[in-house]
Structure 1
Amino acid sequence: MILVTGATGLVGSHLLVKLLQENEVVRAIYREEKSLVAVQNVFKYYNEINLFDKIEWIKADINDVPSLEIAFHNITRVYHCAAFISFDPKDEEQLFKVNIEGTANIVNCCIDFGIDKLCYVSSVAALGEATNSNLIITEETEWNPEKPRNEYAISKYAGEMEVWRGYQEGLKVVIVNPDVIFGYGFPNNGSSSAINAIKKGNPFYTKGKFGIVAVEDLVNCMTKLMNSSISGERYTIVAENITFQEGLNAIADALKLKRPFIYASKGLTSIAWRLDWFLSLLLRKKRILTRLTAKSSHSLAEYDTTKIKTTLGYDFVDMKEYLKKLLINF
């Protein structure tokens, strides 16, 4: 039996569909009953609602070891998709608790229960950083602890360290490192923020680069890696490297809305993150833009996906066509 954590999120819900289509026996973790509605909608999207009833749901929390131990009974493989995503420095405590302590709990249970293999969904934020002389980031790019990092990146890197600890203790593992993930469902989370920004008439763009990938490609790579003999490896999962301008324009064109038309220079984003900091204090709201996220919006670094393409012989979908189809149903 397979256990999926983070099953009520974007990656976890699409992974459930994929696993059940492959006739796997699946147990999935949830925390709140209402979160299951979004998962049902994903199954409806694939016309696979009949498969939803085959999931064995169990109420548990990755930071609650007793409930995890119950969830791990009779499990052979684990997909750890659960994570907390935030770039607000105020969320440091929760980021570390979920992404580090929670992952440590999963790894410990995998070892204690003799799990065959663990797949950990990490992030490109846990990869090394590009330099002025080398803008290409691979799985081997060195992580420099002296470089300033946001709390989310630190938490995902430390989460990976917990997984590698498990590997050293004999647990078979694979790690995937996606960047921005697009997929059906969850219109208020993750990559959907860019779509919502365009719908609200956001006029700003930058020319920095980021990686995008379809959630279907991500879960395909995950299941292929788990069904292989591969262990002790991590893979960057990115379909394309595009500029923020290109990404926002593609979304605007698909929605038949106005493209962003004001270039947000480094100077403008520098002012913007300071203003956002002030408003967050004044209005007690979450940060939208920080100094580090403002800086990254101008980065020209690209992610190299040679390793996953070579290992699996995998071809990613055309993201422009994918976005067109996705936004019809957004």
Structure 2
Amino acid sequence: MILVTGGTGLVGAHLLLHLIENGAKVRAIYRNEKGIQKTKSLFQHYHKVSLFDAVEWVQGDILDIPSLEHAFVNITQVYHCAAFISFDPKDENKLRKNNIEGTANVVNFCLAKGINKLCYVSSTAALGDLAANETIITEESEWNPEKYHNDYAISKYGAEMEIWRGQQEGLKVIIVNPGVIIGPGFEDQGSGQLFQKIANGLRFYTNGKTAFVTVNDVVRIMITLMESSICNERFILIGQNIVFKDIFNTIADTLKVKRPDIEAKPYMLKINLFIHWLSSLFSRKTNNFSKDTLIAASNTKEFSNQKIKTALQTSFTDVHQYIKENFQPVN
């Protein structure tokens, strides 16, 4: 039987659907009923709700050792998709606890229970930094501790260290590093929030860029890697490096709303950063705009997907076309 952590998130929910469609027996961890309903809604989105009951749900948490003891009974493979994502500086301790300590718990159980193989969903945020002679980030780019990394990136990098510890102790592992993952459902998480902002009339864009990938490509490649003899490797999973303005336009056109039409200059971003920081001091609201957001909006780094394309002889879905085909507004 296969265990999936994070089965109530974008990647985990799609992974559950793909695994069950392929005839696998799957168990998934959930923390509350609300999360399960989100996954069920995704199955309904694809008109596959009849497959939802094939998931064996176990209530638990990767920080709760007794619940993991129950979840790991008769498990042979693990997909570790659970993670906490935040770019609010106030969440530093929560990021480290969930992403590093939680991953350490999963690794320890995999070792204790003799799990055949573990796949960990990391992030391009955990990849190394560009050296002076480099123009594109690969799996071989080295993490430079002297350079600035946000708390989320540090927590994912720390989680990867736990995965490699497990590998050194005899566990077969795979790490995947997706870019920004695009997929339907989960409008309150990740890229879903971007679609919501544009739908609600986002006016600003930047000419920074980042890497994007479709959720179907991510889970398809994860399953292929787990079923292959490949192990103890990491792979960058990205479809394309895309300028923010271009992807914002594609989303706006698909949703049939006005394109963001004001370029956010660096000084404007800094003013916005100050305003959000100031307001967060006098309220309990999460600071969704931080120094890290500013850096990301101005990013020009690119990532390579050549390693996975060569290893599996695979290709990636065009992200712009995927958006056009999967996010048309309901009439």
The equivalent of 1:115 in structure 2 is 115
* TM-superposed deviation, 1:108: 0.1
Provide the C-alpha distance between the structure 1 equivalents of 2:264 and 2:47, rounded to a whole number of angstroms: 42
> For the Cα contact (< 8 Å) 1:207–1:298, is it kept in 2?
yes
Provide the C-alpha distance between the structure 2 equivalents of 1:142 and 1:84, rounded to a whole number of angstroms: 24
The equivalent of 1:81 in structure 2 is 81
The equivalent of 1:22 in structure 2 is 22
Provide the C-alpha distance between the structure 1 equivalents of 2:299 and 2:201, rounded to a whole number of angstroms: 24
> For the Cα contact (< 8 Å) 2:31–2:59, is it kept in 1?
yes
* TM-superposed deviation, 1:132: 6.1
* TM-superposed deviation, 1:115: 0.2
> For the Cα contact (< 8 Å) 1:135–1:300, is it kept in 2?
no
> For the Cα contact (< 8 Å) 1:266–1:295, is it kept in 2?
no
Provide the C-alpha distance between the structure 2 equivalents of 1:14 and 1:284, rounded to a whole number of angstroms: 33
> For the Cα contact (< 8 Å) 2:103–2:162, is it kept in 1?
yes
Provide the C-alpha distance between the structure 1 equivalents of 2:131 and 2:246, rounded to a whole number of angstroms: 23
> For the Cα contact (< 8 Å) 2:185–2:192, is it kept in 1?
no
The equivalent of 2:215 in structure 1 is 215
The equivalent of 2:157 in structure 1 is 157
Structure 2 residue ranges without an equivalent (≥5): none
Provide the C-alpha distance between the structure 2 equivalents of 1:61 and 1:295, rounded to a whole number of angstroms: 32
Provide the C-alpha distance between the structure 2 equivalents of 1:130 and 1:94, rounded to a whole number of angstroms: 28
Q: Structure 2 counterpart of 1:50, which letter? A: S
Provide the C-alpha distance between the structure 2 equivalents of 1:95 and 1:106, rounded to a whole number of angstroms: 16
The equivalent of 1:319 in structure 2 is 319
TM-score by length of 1: 0.97
> For the Cα contact (< 8 Å) 1:29–1:57, is it kept in 2?
yes
* TM-superposed deviation, 1:326: 2.0
Structure 1 residue ranges without an equivalent (≥5): none
Q: Structure 2 counterpart of 1:128, which letter? A: G
Q: How many percent of aligned residue pairs carry the same amino acid?
A: 52
> For the Cα contact (< 8 Å) 2:255–2:329, is it kept in 1?
no
Q: Structure 1 counterpart of 2:23, which letter? A: N
* TM-superposed deviation, 1:329: 5.6
Q: Structure 2 counterpart of 1:172, which letter? A: K
Q: Does 1:294 align with 2:324?
A: no
* TM-superposed deviation, 1:149: 1.2
The equivalent of 2:12 in structure 1 is 12
* TM-superposed deviation, 1:152: 0.5
In the superposition, relative to structure 1, how do residues 215 and 86 fare at CA in structure 2: closer, same or farther (>3 Å)? same
Q: For the aligned residues, what is the CA RMSD?
A: 1.2
* TM-superposed deviation, 1:69: 0.9
In the superposition, relative to structure 1, how do residues 329 and 36 fare at CA in structure 2: closer, same or farther (>3 Å)? farther
Provide the C-alpha distance between the structure 1 equivalents of 2:299 and 2:187, rounded to a whole number of angstroms: 26
The equivalent of 2:205 in structure 1 is 205
Provide the C-alpha distance between the structure 2 equivalents of 1:191 and 1:162, rounded to a whole number of angstroms: 27
The equivalent of 1:93 in structure 2 is 93
Q: How many residues align?
A: 330
Q: Structure 2 counterpart of 1:249, which letter? A: N
* TM-superposed deviation, 1:267: 1.8
Q: Structure 1 counterpart of 2:122, which letter? A: S
The equivalent of 1:67 in structure 2 is 67
Correspondences of 1:136-155 after superposition (within 5 Å): 136-155=136-155
TM-score by length of 2: 0.97
Q: Structure 2 counterpart of 1:252, which letter? A: A
Provide the C-alpha distance between the structure 2 equivalents of 1:17 and 1:44, rounded to a whole number of angstroms: 11
Correspondences of 1:44-63 after superposition (within 5 Å): 44-63=44-63
The equivalent of 2:271 in structure 1 is 271
In the superposition, relative to structure 1, how do residues 205 and 133 fare at CA in structure 2: closer, same or farther (>3 Å)? farther
Provide the C-alpha distance between the structure 2 equivalents of 1:192 and 1:184, rounded to a whole number of angstroms: 8
Provide the C-alpha distance between the structure 2 equivalents of 1:47 and 1:257, rounded to a whole number of angstroms: 27
> For the Cα contact (< 8 Å) 2:184–2:192, is it kept in 1?
no
SS of residue in 1 equivalent to 2:190: coil
Bigger Cα displacement from structure 2, 122-131 vs 4-13: 122-131
The equivalent of 1:251 in structure 2 is 251
Q: Deviations over 1:73-116 (max 9, x none)?
A: 10000000000000001011111111000000000000000000
